[in-house]
């Protein structure tokens, strides 16, 4: 498997051992009046950011904290320091893989930043045991050493557990227990030793000065600091600091219980502070660690306890511990009973310490990082765990230095939020849900539970009438499939029915909808995809600069293109129609839209292009009409010429359907002939009904996203965020056909090249090391879902980036990046699905209609 190389120290990096005697400036107020960068918050995130910026050569950094250094009273000051490596998120895993050894190499005041003694996750139920197998797969996929253990083997590692109470465990030797304040102080002192940063405790930030576009200064109770940039690392106080700058930081501080009991003779016998791995007892939503002769227990097994940021106590009113709220014993009783079954030694032992600690939960449970889309030079590094702060600090430093972090950061990007995700009510509900989800088993296709029904497309009622099963994306209600099509599922489709885990949030109706699209036609609701318009005299110049494909096409042409970052990594993909000489409409993903818009705005501003960028998503309903009968259906409702010669593939133009003016694009994400039709929202249902009426006798159905995904995978269309992200480049993804290397050659300045071209040219000079490959599973009935490790002779060589069943080709399909020598059709590999080895073969792609004859028909 290609390593992303993130585990290596940052350039110029080294680990630091800093003793108390080192002469460094731990400044108490008086503060300086000018800085290159002000970091607000000296918890582990602020310290990590300062450390990594210092490594990259930054100077003139001022770090401010309202509390005393470095036990500031923030979340870092009382986190028990559980450091785990395995996560569903590759990004977070990479951050941990980098950060944990970093902490272990740090020292301050004679104490180490982390003890990497391992992490053990135990299962008390069969369902959880299966989940541990799945987590073991994630670990292997992302390069983390981990082992499934029997109860007896677990007991060898953690002698104080009752092995009769568990089914098994998952052990990762590289995990462990951090000393967060020690790691913070060591990183801060290293930054100070380089004379890169000055740290000021007891300094309260009271305001941020900015003009319409950029930050100017930070106001504190010790004076004003004029600054070129601000980085907010204020943890649970982030929303309050954000408000000072006029922005919303969508996180919710939540109370989380931590309790120590003891003394316990079985622990005292070890004679050490830490003598065994940290243990996660997921079934009880708890984790446990040793503190000498005490046993510490963290508890998520209680009702969510949100805390409005405005009500967090001040440092001065809280005995220096504003992020500790009083313990609520009623929330601990039952979980304690549960966990004491596994650790009987804790029964009857007195509580020696207990509190409800506060830390941040975001709408999607992921960090909030990067440059704020609305205010220049205002940066965020918020909602980051101790475990991830090392890697996140490095990413922020890389981002601030070179414009792009070296790992794809889309999951954590502050620009990812739709407007509704910034509202108080949404953040509050999602905070609760994220808290509850921390240890739950979440199925990859499981839709968000709360809140729902935030955005409805014009066709929502039509889907309700078809008994659609809805999922959520970007706040939208989207049909996964329509139960009204259940009768089409008989006789059984060509692929065996799924069972167990693979059958959850899935239906054979998806297969029926897929096949009906290939045989007749289907309507898909495309309204949820983001629609962005570029208008103005420099529209073409911007399009040429941000997109890889040739955008200087005649009006009415449609272009499929990639958008790269400056490292040549794949940021996004989109379909773009040229509406007029100075106007383009971009269709990008529902999830990717806000981030795409923010990037486009930033690039336009950086080059001073005279353009307007508008998100017009809500202005149009969009229908995908696809299938061999699509033309016949469209021809029946319009007088426009929709013949193949009259309306060729990859063209677009206005169309009148009944009384509605629409804009039709002859493109397809499913590999069938047809159109995406964009209609002003108020006219959209009428167009749907017109198509429905003429299409029904021809076999037209309304189909959902499940069918769309299976149609696209057998056609070899890559899925953004799964098969394509910035960790890979278009050469590796097999997307060179949308790169126009010579675009703008001969011209100068803004007409020349495109973002990522120079980096990509350098990459092109070297032989490819990995390539996106299509695999098919050898045995009918086998299924994989995504993120599972791909193995060659027992060695992990990649992981599944996306997977689904190709119902027309009667095969289950998986994509994944493989070493080039293995990405050759016919190569025999296996995929680890839970603990089963599923045989698979690399196949020539695309599997369906390889010559693309159907879409052009």
Site residues (vs ligand FAD, CB under 6 A): 40-46, 64-67, 72-76, 79-82, 204-205, 233-237, 241, 256, 258, 298, 323, 357-359, 384-387
Residues 6+ apart with CB under 8 A from 243: none
Q: How far is CA 130 from CA 133, 488, 715, in A?
A: 5, 33, 32
Between 386 and 532, name the residue whose CB sits nearer to ligand FAD: 386
**Which of left, alpha, beta for 811 (phi over 0: left; psi -120 to 50: alpha)?**
beta
**What is the closest distance, in whole angstroms, from the C-beta atom of residue 278 to ligand FAD in the complex?**
8
Please, what sign has the CA dihedral across residues 782, 785, 791, 794?
A: negative
Lay out the sheet containing 701-702: strands in order across. 652-657, 660-665, 674-680, 620-626, 522-525, 701-702
* CB 381, min distance to ligand FAD, A: 7
Cβ contact 103:117 at 8 Å: no
Name which of 231 and 685 has its Cβ closer to ligand FAD. 231
CB closer to ligand FAD, 198 vs 471: 198
In the bound complex, what is the minimum distance in angstroms from residue 523's beta carbon to ligand FAD?
45
Rounded least distance, CB 180 to ligand FAD, Å:
6
Given CA atoms 394, 400, 403, 408 in this order, what sign does their dihedral have? Answer: positive
d(CA 396, CA 409): 10
Hunting for tokens 């951050």 — which residue is that? Answer: 95
Q: Which two tokens stand for residue 149?
A: 């253990």
Shortest distance (Å) from residue 96 CB to ligand FAD: 9
SS3 346: helix
The secondary structure of residue 214, as a DSSP letter, is: B
Residue 634 C-beta: closest distance to ligand FAD, Å: 53
Residue among 690, 631, 630 nearest 658 (CA): 690
> Nearer Cβ to ligand FAD, position 119 or 624?
119
Strands 223-232 and 378-382, bridge-based pairing: parallel
User: Measured from the CB atom, is 184 or 548 closer to ligand FAD?
Assistant: 184
Under 8 Å between Cβ of 318 and 272: no
Least separation in angstroms between residue 166's CB and ligand FAD is 21
**Cα separation of 234 and 72, whole Å?**
11
Q: What is the smallest separation between the CB atom of 231 and ligand FAD, expressed in angstroms?
A: 11
Long-range contacts of residues 130-134, Cβ cutoff 8 Å, at least 24 apart: 130/501, 130/834, 131/282, 131/441, 132/168, 132/169, 132/170, 133/834, 133/835, 134/834
For residues 128 and 200, which CB has a smaller minimum distance to ligand FAD in the complex?
Answer: 200
Q: Residue 399 is encoded by which pair of tokens?
A: 């981002």
Residue 569 CB, shortest distance to ligand FAD, in Å, is 27
263 upstream amide cis, omega within 30 of 0: yes
Are the CB atoms for 772 and 720 separated by under 8 Å?
no
For residues 551 and 535, give the distance between their C-alpha atoms in angstroms, rounded to a whole number: 14
Using only C-alpha atoms, what is the Rg of the chain? 28
Which of the residues are catalytic?
256, 287, 573
Q: Please report, for the chain, how many H helices and E strands are present, in that order.
A: 20, 43
Alpha carbons 674 and 187: distance in angstroms, whole number: 58
Q: Is the Cβ of residue 45 or residue 586 nearer to ligand FAD in the bound state?
A: 45
**What is the rounded distance in angstroms from the CA atom of residue 198 to the CA atom of residue 219?**
16
Instruction: Give the shortest CB-102-to-ligand FAD separation in angstroms.
Output: 14
804: nearest Cα among 532, 495, 561, 567:
495
């Amino acid at each position: 498997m290609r390593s992303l190389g993130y585990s290596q120290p940052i350039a110029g990096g080294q680990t630091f051992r800093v003793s108390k005697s080192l002469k460094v400036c731990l400044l108490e107020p008086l503060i300086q009046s000018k800085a290159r960068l002000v970091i607000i918050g000296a918890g582990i995130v602020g310290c990590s950011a300062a450390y990594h910026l210092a490594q990259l050569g930054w100077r003139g950094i001022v770090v401010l904290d309202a509390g005393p250094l470095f036990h500031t009273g923030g979340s870092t000051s009382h986190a028990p320091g559980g450091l785990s490596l395995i996560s569903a998120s590759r990004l977070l895993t990479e951050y941990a893989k980098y950060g944990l050894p970093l902490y272990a190499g740090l020292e301050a005041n004679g104490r180490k930043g982390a003890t990497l003694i391992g992490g053990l996750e135990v299962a008390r139920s069969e369902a959880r045991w299966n989940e541990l197998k799945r987590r073991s797969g994630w670990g292997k996929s992302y390069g983390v050493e981990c082992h499934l253990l029997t109860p007896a083997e677990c007991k060898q590692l953690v002698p104080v557990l009752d092995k009769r109470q568990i089914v098994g465990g998952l052990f990762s030797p590289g995990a462990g227990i951090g000393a967060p304040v020690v790691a913070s102080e060591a990183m801060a002192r290293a930054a100070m030793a380089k004379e890169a940063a000055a740290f000021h405790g007891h300094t309260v930030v009271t305001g941020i000065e900015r003009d319409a576009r950029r930050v100017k200064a930070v106001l504190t109770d010790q004076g004003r600091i004029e600054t070129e940039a601000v980085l907010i690392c204020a943890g649970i106080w982030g929303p309050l600091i954000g408000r000072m700058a006029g922005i919303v930081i969508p996180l919710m501080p939540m109370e989380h219980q931590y309790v120590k009991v003891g003394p316990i003779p079985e622990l005292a016998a070890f004679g050490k502070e830490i003598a065994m791995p940290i243990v996660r007892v997921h079934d009880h939503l708890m984790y446990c660690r040793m503190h000498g002769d005490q046993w510490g227990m963290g508890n998520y097994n209680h009702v969510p306890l949100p805390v409005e940021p405005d009500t967090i106590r001040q440092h001065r009113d809280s005995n220096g511990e504003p992020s500790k709220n009083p313990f609520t014993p009623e929330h601990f009783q039952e979980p304690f009973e549960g966990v004491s079954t596994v650790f009987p030694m804790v029964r009857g032992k007195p509580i020696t310490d207990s509190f409800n600690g506060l830390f941040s939960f975001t709408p999607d449970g992921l960090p909030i990082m990067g440059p704020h889309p609305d205010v220049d030079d205002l940066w965020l590094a918020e909602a980051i765990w101790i475990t991830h702060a090392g890697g996140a600090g490095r990413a922020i430093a890389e981002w601030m230095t070179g414009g792009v972090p070296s790992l794809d950061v889309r999951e954590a990007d502050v620009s990812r939020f739709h407007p509704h995700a910034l509202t108080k009510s949404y953040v509050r509900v999602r905070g609760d849900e994220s808290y509850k989800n921390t240890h739950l088993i979440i199925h990859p296709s499981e839709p968000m539970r709360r809140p729902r029904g935030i955005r409805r497309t014009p066709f929502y009622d039509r889907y309700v009438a078809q008994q659609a099963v809805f999922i959520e994306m970007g706040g939208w209600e989207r049909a996964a499939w329509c139960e009204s099509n259940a009768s089409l599922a008989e006789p059984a489709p060509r692929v065996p029915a799924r069972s167990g885990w693979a059958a959850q949030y899935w239906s054979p109706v998806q297969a029926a909808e897929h096949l009906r699209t290939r045989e007749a036609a289907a309507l898909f609701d495309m309204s949820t995809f983001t629609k962005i318009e570029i208008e103005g005299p420099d529209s073409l110049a911007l399009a040429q600069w941000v997109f890889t494909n040739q955008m200087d096409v005649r009006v009415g042409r449609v272009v499929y293109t990639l958008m790269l970052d400056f490292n040549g990594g794949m940021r996004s993909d989109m379909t773009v129609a040229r509406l007029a000489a100075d106007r383009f409409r971009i269709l990008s993903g529902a999830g990717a839209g806000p981030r795409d818009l923010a990037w486009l705005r930033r690039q336009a501003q950086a080059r001073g292009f005279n353009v307007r960028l508008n998100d017009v998503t809500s202005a149009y309903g969009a229908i995908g009409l696809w299938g061999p009968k699509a033309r016949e259906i469209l021809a029946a409702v319009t007088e426009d010429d929709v013949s193949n010669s009259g309306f060729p593939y990859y063209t677009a133009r206005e169309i009148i359907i009944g009384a509605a003016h629409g804009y039709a694009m002859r493109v397809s994400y499913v590999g069938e002939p047809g159109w995406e039709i964009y209609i002003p929202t108020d006219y959209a249902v009428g167009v749907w009904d017109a198509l429905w009426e003429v299409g029904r006798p021809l076999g037209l159905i309304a189909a959902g996203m499940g069918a769309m995904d299976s149609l696209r995978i057998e056609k070899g269309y890559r899925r953004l965020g799964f098969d394509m992200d910035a960790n890979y480049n278009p050469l590796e993804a097999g997307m060179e056909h949308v790169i126009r290397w010579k675009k703008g050659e001969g011209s100068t300045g803004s007409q020349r090249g495109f973002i990522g071209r120079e980096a990509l040219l350098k990459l092109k000079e070297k032989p490819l090391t990995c390539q996106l490959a299509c695999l098919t599973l050898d045995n009918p009935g086998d299924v994989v879902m995504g993120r599972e490790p791909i193995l060659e002779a027992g060695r992990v060589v990649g992981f599944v980036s996306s997977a689904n069943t190709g119902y027309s080709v009667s095969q289950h399909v998986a994509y994944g990046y493989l070493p080039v020598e293995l990405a050759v059709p016919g190569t025999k590999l296996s995929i680890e699905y839970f603990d089963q080895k599923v045989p698979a073969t690399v196949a020539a792609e695309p599997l369906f209609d390889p010559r693309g004859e159907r879409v052009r028909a």
